[in-house]
Amino acid sequence: MPLSRHFNQGRLLYFTQGADAISVYENDHMRWLAFDDVVQSAVRLKKPHQLTFPHQWALLMPLLSFTPSNIVELGLGAGNHILFSQWLTADINHKVIEANPNVIDIALRYFPISDVKENLVLNDAKQWLVNEKTLSDDWYIFDIYQKAKFHDTSYNELLKQFIDYLPYGSILSINFPEVTQKELMFWLAIAGQKKSHKLQCYTVPRYKNIVLHLIPTSPNNSLQQKSHLPNRLQHYWRRYQLQFGLVAS
């Protein structure tokens, strides 16, 4: 998501140099977080729970059919997804694993996530997976920002481990920000080996993201097969589903 002309008009609130230069901007309506001049997250100042980018609607599409008891998300950003899930219902225990302490500090300082501070876990995703030993949560969201992925063996190994270890009754949702056709076919082949799950795939209008879901054919008992989305959002998301959903399996 390159910085648009709209975002370029923002006021700089924070900037730090490093391997991934992190910056925070705002205008009269929004505040956003950028890594290397690429907007990663944006939060509306008056309605921070609202999702701002279409890939976020695609990534949270399982909420159209399910309400999980617990979510584990890999990658914090500005906390858009946890803000949305906690607005939707406080009954969802949403935990976020973030490897970069600067991202957590910046998110807590500049974005309205202090109420869910106890749900933020500072840890490398791979180490967290090792510590967990087995997975038992209802829904895992893989949304780790990283520039080069296909040739990054650590990223590929981590994602493949999550697919391999995914319990038969849990959901896994993956955001691929700039995936090539070759990369997509590679991951569809890996995910397609998971016979306990069916695949759902979404394109994202005006962006290069592809979102892939592994949906269990026999969901956990704690994974309620009903939606808490307001009727207005259900209608809008179903239109998105019909327009941008791809048949994967």
The domain ranges of the chain are 47-247
Beta bridge partners of 210: 176, 203
Q: Is 81 helix (H, G, I), strand (E, B) or coil?
A: helix
The string of pLDDT tens digits covering residues 165-199 is 999 999 999 999 888 899 999 999 999 999 999 99
Helix (H) or strand (E) holding 202: strand 197-203
Q: Is 157 helix (H, G, I), strand (E, B) or coil?
A: helix
> Region 108-125: what's the mean pLDDT?
96
The encoded tokens of residue 203 equal: 């394109």
Q: Is there a contact between 161 and 194 (Cβ–Cβ < 8 Å)?
A: no
The string of pLDDT tens digits covering residues 48-62 is 999 999 999 999 999
Looking at domain 47-247, its CATH architecture is 3-Layer(aba) Sandwich (3.40)
Q: Which residue has the higher pLDDT, 7 or 158?
A: 158
> Region 118-129: what's the mean pLDDT?
95
Residue 140's pLDDT is 98
> Region 196-221: what's the mean pLDDT?
94
Extract long-range pairs of 56-59: CB within 8 Å, 24+ residues apart: 56/80, 56/81, 56/84, 57/237, 57/240, 58/202, 58/204, 58/209, 58/211, 58/240, 58/244, 59/141, 59/143, 59/173, 59/175, 59/211
Residue 3's pLDDT is 41
Residue 2's pLDDT is 43
Residue 202's pLDDT is 95
Residue 247's pLDDT is 63
- The dihedral sign for the CA sequence 214, 218, 221, 226: positive
User: Quick one: pLDDT band at residue 159, thresholds 50, 70, 90?
Assistant: very high
Residue 214's pLDDT is 98
Q: Is there a contact between 92 and 171 (Cβ–Cβ < 8 Å)?
A: no
Residue 200's pLDDT is 95
Q: Which of 91-95, 174-178, 213-217 has the lowest mean pLDDT?
A: 174-178
How far is the C-alpha of 163 from the C-alpha of 23, rounded, in Å? Answer: 32
How far is the C-alpha of 51 from the C-alpha of 62, rounded, in Å? Answer: 15
